[in-house]
Structure 1
Amino acid sequence: MSTELSTGATRQSAEALARSKGEPNWLVELRGEAAELAGTLGWPKPEKVRIERWNLTAVGNYEQSTAAASIGELPAVARELIAEGTENLLVQRNSGVVWKQFSQELASKGVIFTDLETACKEHGELVQQYLFQAVAKNEDKLTALHAALWNGGVFVYVPKNVEVEIPLQAILFNDNAGATFAPHILIVADTHSRVTYVDSVVSEPGAASAPFMHPSIVEVFVKAGAHVRFGSIHHMGETGVDMTIRRAVIDNDGRMEWIIGDLNDGNTVSDTKSVLNGKGSTSDAKVISVGTGAQQMSLTTQAVHFGKNSDSDMVTRAVMKDSASAIINGITKIEHGATKANGVQTEKVLMLSPKARGDANPILLIDEDDVTAGHAASVGQVNPEMVYYLMSRGISKQDAERLIIYGFLAPVVSEIPVEAVREQLQRLLERKLEG
């Protein structure tokens, strides 16, 4: 089944598509309202990036997906990312999920790991409590458009006091530029629970020659004393526009860890925020990106402190080649009343070409006196003294520069918790940095 749903979608078309998929009435209504909003709101306006010049209308048509009979039927781009021996895997291809497997042991403990469309039907009351609560559907045209057309997606729920020791993995891939590809990730970690979730968002190499747009939203809710570790690698083709919003809401003594690799070949808007509502809540965000060709990127990492004794740490490292450009924003906001809060951020950009551009913008917004906050930012080329030192030890100049670059990115690469995804990241870095 192919159903058109573009940025000009009406309430009627959005609701008709939702009904055709058997979605519950509350979701049909939500999609209809969002479609109306999308026609009235403007696109987000990231600083110093003119996204209105990008192709933002190529959202494609909804294509009903056919489930795979075995992992062997999945394309190679998906199979090579699967963690060896995993029992917890979800695969989305274009507009829908085509493979699911989940540990019976975790299911017996009340853990839910399924696609979001299924979760809306089978766990509607639970999903309704959280869907579009961290990211409101009426923030701008992007969030409204996504709310109207999201498909497939992932839903994770971990009950109180349950620890999921083995990472949950999702592979979200697009090999048809004409298909709507808009997964929504929703993770809820209840009180004193623990979970690691890792996904890879990719397009088939060389398969998408036509323009496409990937509007994606991630919502994470970390309840009191819970710990969520979220890893995500994005690698989509140069004809694509990747616009991803990530939000985490963290309660008392909760901990959120972000590990993000934005390694697309096309234009990118990536916005990752932690809202530290609870006393003693913490957030740790690590982001890397490599820009090549003429791609443009807006990479924003944010921490908003409401809770007393809350703590945030943000690290962003980017490497720019050719004529690529990146605007990197780190925003720490400490609200009035968030006494004893601590916010630290570091943005570093390594330039490998005189035509490349990288702006690092650390921003501290402090509305409370009894806090600590700091930032560091740097933009520069490979240190010639470091190159000279390595060359004096018998290493060629090319290898010396490569080692320095990999060392620059290592703090994030080493944090990826699934070996297959970590190896993917290494391959992508090699391809983008060495051509």
Structure 2
Amino acid sequence: MAPPLSSLTVPLSAGTAEELGLTAGTLGPLTAVAGALAWIREGRGFVGLGETARFTATGPGRFADLQAQFRAATGGAGQAPGLAGSGAFAFAKITYSKRSPVASELIVPRVVVGHPEASFSRTHGESVRPWLTILSTDPSEELTPELAHAEAVRLAALREPDRERSAADAVTPGALGEDEWVAAVATGVSTINQREVTKIVMARDVVVRTESPISRSELTRRLARAYDSCWTYSVDGLIGATPEMLIRVIDGHVQARVLAGTIDRQARPDATIDDARAEFLGSAKQVHEHRLAIESLVSELAPFAPELVHDSEPFVLELPNVWHLASDVSVKVGDDGRAPSALDLAEAVHPTAAVCGTPRLVASLIIRELERMDRGHYAGPVGWVDAAGNGEFGIALRGTVLDSPVSARVFGGCGIVAGSDPESELLESWAKMRPVLDAFGLERPSTRI
């Protein structure tokens, strides 16, 4: 049985904020701490220091198993008034596939520094000030404001050095070489034309090998700076900056952001966002791919709330490496007093058409055969949960999984429909890997790998 988890949330004092380097109002400096856990966007969010508890699960019941373990440990403990993300808290990473042997995990830090956006407040419009939460599984430990601040300062002093660059650092083939993957995409297109499937999302990986140890904090800091409008995540070796919000649940208010459709900005250096919009909306392939992703999400959320609101027309999301066709979906759930938790909804909508395909079951079988790899945590839900059922889950995209101190897998995926060109999809996959390769200080190899 899991040990009981106790917590105390207190305002972050000005003195401690100064010692932690947070006087500029951003949590960024804390990502330099060795082993820091992070979920931040535009400098706001949550950073965890140290570790108090860890819950693991595998298989089809991994969402429910993790939720049951967390609830048993917290005893249903709530949050500080009006502060979603306060009180008992865990960072989460869940595998893409129920068949993966890789463990899905909830990680409870020793200390959480929270400074979310103002919309987290129940009073909506009040400024939410940063706070500290200290967590413990020791029933004899007295949790006090003084201890919370002291532990935060102690753990924040454990800094991690950046990786030393070497000419030997390299990007090498993953499960499939480029030519093999292009052939697999061609097979996927042929399959779409012959079977009752309209879209499959095919991912590929490359392996980064370094001479000196990889620095998790360096990767997190570089991604957070370069892609501050994305959700930068770092959860025990799963690191990235995702532009896609799978599900956000704050006091019964649910939001999601769907992306499907991509244009590589490097290939169009002089194009404007208006040019991108015209290209997206003028492409039957891009519009079709996006519509499938929206329809998939709406159908999965419908049992929880019949009245959903989503953008009548998608918008263009501008990122440093690509443009995406995007839509936002929002809904209020739990009016009957039985609000689903963030884990409940993440399980209901995962995997979306944006990372799997349509119809989901058929697409999942096809991509498992064609990709010839276990995605592990790539394209799975990543984020945080609290004991009240609040949470945010992004899709673990634009990311890497650290396999060893000197090696990591970097992933990129593409939506394949009837009109897809395999060579164009290969270029798109490299564009999606670019954020992480840049963070490593590496480039796409000049020859096929």
TM bucket, shorter chain: under 0.3
The structure with more strand, counted as a fraction of residues: 1
- Relative contact order (C-alpha < 8 Å, sep 6+): which is higher? 2
Q: With the length of structure 2 as denominator, give the TM-score of the two structures.
A: 0.27
